[in-house]
């Protein structure tokens, strides 16, 4: 992994996650990665809100989408599977290290 990709995610409840995702050394278009991540999260949030979808179901669908995407790449499936695992683990670790802030709540 090489340079970081700064990304801010704000949840429906207003929690803010400032994450520095490590980009893979072969990343060709960091800005497109950022844009696609933002688009994916927007669609996932919209669909999850629509009918109160369970968080586990959301994670399962995302995992399935990643698995399909890794498999449709014209390359050795073992290589793409290992890359998907490596990228996922790095992203999960980055989120655990994120700066998290919540909006003020309560009465003054």
Predicted model pTM: 0.87
pLDDT, residue 21, reads: 98
Q: Are 84 and 63 in contact (CB under 8 A)?
A: no
- DSSP structural state of residue 52: T
Looking at the predicted structure, is the pLDDT value of residue 103 above 90?
no
For the chain, state the CA radius of gyration.
16
Cross-strand bridge partners of residue 6: 20
pLDDT, residue 104, reads: 77
Domain boundaries, the chain: 4-101
What digits encode the pLDDT tens for the residues 13-70?
899 999 999 999 999 999 999 999 999 999 999 999 998 899 999 999 999 999 999 9
| Residue 5, helix vs strand vs coil | strand
């Amino acid at each position: 992994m090489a340079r970081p990709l700064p990304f801010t995610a704000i949840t429906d409840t207003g929690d803010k996650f400032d994450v520095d995702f490590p980009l893979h050394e072969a990343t060709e278009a960091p800005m497109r990665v950022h844009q696609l991540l933002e688009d994916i999260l927007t669609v996932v949030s919209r669909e999850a809100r629509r009918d109160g979808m369970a968080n586990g179901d959301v994670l399962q669908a995302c995992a399935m989408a990643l698995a399909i995407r890794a498999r449709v790449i014209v390359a050795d499936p073992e290589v793409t599977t290992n890359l998907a695992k490596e990228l996922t683990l790095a992203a999960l670790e980055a989120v655990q290290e994120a700066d998290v802030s919540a909006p003020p709540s309560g009465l003054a």
